Amino acid sequence: MKRTGGQIIMDYLEREGVPYVLGIPGHGILGFFDALRESVSAGKTKYIQVKHEQAAVHMADGYFRVKGEPLAVFTSIGPGALNTAIGLATAYVDSTAVFQISGDTHVQMKGVGVLQEIERRQDSDFLSALEPLAKRVWRAESAGQLPRILQRSFNQMLTGRKGPVAVALPMNVQSEAVEVCLPEPQKHRAAAPPCGDAGTVQTAANLLRSARRPVLLLGGAALRANGTELFVRLAEALGAAVITTMAGKSAFPEDHPLYAFHTGSKGTPPGIHFTRNADVILSLGARFADETTCSYRDGAAFSIPKTKLIQVDIDAGEIGKNYPCEVGILGDLSQVARQLLAAYGTPRVWQGGAYALEIAQEREKWRETIRKGREKTFEKITISQLVGELEECLPEETIIATSSGNTQAQLFQEYAFTKGQRHLTTGGFSTMGWAFPASLGAKLAAPGRPVVCLLGDGDFMMT
């Protein structure tokens, strides 16, 4: 049976199990929208219309951070497509998968300057504006190309370092009907994430065994890995102080005696103390961006290479990018963490030791500082006091989303994620206005969990 380009896309989204499609219809995407309406009418897909295309991408971003599965976003031609630039950039910098399709100029009419076409530098040129903001972009020149483009799009999004992709869909391609055979998604995708080189892992384990002041640094990829129990086992085996970046916050229970909060320019005194004075740091999925490192001033947050760094990342480009590594391990951080546990052997006895006592003392000093700040009386409630109220009242399974700003920094510093709560924030691109649509996406992903969105400097809402 022949299928139009729009129907081919919807058929493939159904195969991938994409439950929601988000966007705003316009004249440049009507061929696809007809196919979407058919799928919705058949009960196969749900459609959510947003008020702005950027919000659709932010919603899909929040959904993926909670669920680990991508949503589809669509736009019309021209301004609608370019309205997604901030959303794509946010997802790209924070390594979040979003599948986006946008209407485009008819193949046979490219370059004539049809309504909403950008064509002075080259014909139908809007994809050039999105290229730096996605893992990959495609333009389908015929409906017959779509099965391969769709399969490759999902492969790019969901393997290696995750990220958004964008596909330009000319108006005639959306409506063109062809005979196609859709690929089986799992037959075109790696079955398991990559492990680290065994010899290199053993070298890292030996170095960790020799450490007296080890630190386990968890970045945003660690939070996305949903490996809290694994990271607890690893930290306890190493006897390491555990630090999380802003993107990694809530990857580790913050009431654990080895947890030492955060480092960097928005960090905490205990976190900075332990990263500055570590002899070996094991980094799992952290980029060592400027805020985490206090702009690379030696001895401020880190003293590398005096401190020996073991850096684990799925992206080879991140390893050694900002600091030299004693050991660099390319691989999936959960797989490598399990390898390190096996290679390390007998766990260290850390309870009651001098290092564990130091961690406990630094933890208590910081929590006491927070308590004293919250006890002060002012005419109006402070952000710190609000964060304290949230700590007291919110259920254990709560998801909290923040955007750029002072509230984001204070929640990062002061809120203790202890019992499976989830922290979502736009750390890398630091996008204002992200939290509300992202929290809506989080609620779609976890309808049974409370979701709190912190806005501005102290305003908040439940969703």
Percent residues over pLDDT 90 in the chain: 89
Residue with tokens 């005096």: 306
Q: Which two tokens stand for residue 353?
A: 């030791």
pLDDT of residue 289: 95
What is the C-alpha to C-alpha distance for residues 165 and 98, in angstroms, rounded to an integer? 6
* Local confidence band at 332 (pLDDT 50, 70, 90 cut-offs): very high
What is the C-alpha to C-alpha distance for residues 78 and 59, in angstroms, rounded to an integer? 21
pLDDT in tens, 163-194: 999 999 999 999 999 999 999 999 999 989 99
pLDDT of 438 above 80: yes
* Local confidence band at 151 (pLDDT 50, 70, 90 cut-offs): very high
What is the C-alpha to C-alpha distance for residues 136 and 141, in angstroms, rounded to an integer? 16
pLDDT in tens, 61-85: 999 999 999 999 999 999 999 999 9
pLDDT of residue 302: 98
Closest CA to 235 of 215, 220, 250: 215
pLDDT of 456 above 80: no
Q: Which two tokens stand for residue 132?
A: 């730096």
- Report, as an integer, the average pLDDT of 290-301: 95
- Report, as an integer, the average pLDDT of 329-351: 97
pLDDT of 412 above 80: yes
Tell which wins on pLDDT, 298 or 116.
298
Q: Give the list of residues 6+ apart from residue 229 with CB closer than 8 angstroms, or none.
A: none
Residue with tokens 């490759």: 152
pLDDT of residue 116: 85
* Local confidence band at 111 (pLDDT 50, 70, 90 cut-offs): confident
Q: Which two tokens stand for residue 83?
A: 């309205």
pLDDT in tens, 199-237: 999 999 999 999 999 999 999 999 999 999 999 999 999
pLDDT of residue 161: 97
Please state the three-class secondary structure of the chain as a single string. CEEEHHHHHHHHHHHCCCCEEEECCCHHHHHHHHHHHHHHHCCCCEEEECCCHHHHHHHHHHHHHHHCCCCEEEECCCHHHHCCHHHHHHHHHCCCCCEEEEEECCHHHCCCCCCCCCCCCCCCCHHHHHHHHCCEEEECCCHHHHHHHHHHHHHHHHCCCCCCEEEEEEHHHHHCEEECCCCCHHHHCCCCCCCCCHHHHHHHHHHHHHCCCEEEEECHHHHHCCCHHHHHHHHHHHCCEEEECCCCCCCCCCCCCCECCCCCCCCCHHHHHHHHCCCEEEEECCCCCHHHHCCCCECCCECCCCCEEEEEECCCCCCCCCCCCCEEEECCHHHHHHHHHHHHCCCCCCCCCHHHHHHHHHHHHHHHHHHHHHHCCCCCCCHHHHHHHHHHHCCCCCEEEECCCHHHHHHHHHCCCCCCCEEEECCCCCCCCCHHHHHHHHHHHCCCCCEEEEECCCEEEEC
Q: Which two tokens stand for residue 375?
A: 């006890």
Q: Which two tokens stand for residue 48?
A: 């959510």
What is the C-alpha to C-alpha distance for residues 319 and 119, in angstroms, rounded to an integer? 39
pLDDT of residue 191: 86
pLDDT of 458 above 70: no
Distance of CA 447 to the CA centre of its chain: 20
- Report, as an integer, the average pLDDT of 343-362: 96
pLDDT of 455 above 90: no
Q: Which two tokens stand for residue 185?
A: 């998604």
Q: Give the list of residues 6+ apart from residue 72 with CB closer than 8 angstroms, or none.
A: 13, 18, 20, 21, 22, 60, 99, 100, 101
Residue with tokens 């409506």: 175
pLDDT of 457 above 90: no
pLDDT of residue 31: 97
- Report, as an integer, the average pLDDT of 45-71: 98
Report the 10 Å Cβ neighbour count for 374.
Answer: 17
Report the 10 Å Cβ neighbour count for 237.
Answer: 18
- Report, as an integer, the average pLDDT of 381-398: 92
pLDDT of residue 462: 55
What is the C-alpha to C-alpha distance for residues 434 and 425, in angstroms, rounded to an integer? 8
Mean residue pLDDT across the chain: 95
- Report, as an integer, the average pLDDT of 26-45: 97
Q: Which pairing describes strands 2-4 and 177-179: parallel, antiparallel, or unpaired? A: antiparallel
Distance of CA 22 to the CA centre of its chain: 19
What is the C-alpha to C-alpha distance for residues 226 and 220, in angstroms, rounded to an integer? 11
Is 460:452 a contact under the CB 8 Å cutoff? yes
pLDDT of residue 463: 55
* Local confidence band at 1 (pLDDT 50, 70, 90 cut-offs): confident
Distance of CA 262 to the CA centre of its chain: 18
Closest CA to 303 of 320, 286, 278: 278
- Report, as an integer, the average pLDDT of 337-354: 96
pLDDT of residue 117: 84
- Report, as an integer, the average pLDDT of 386-400: 93
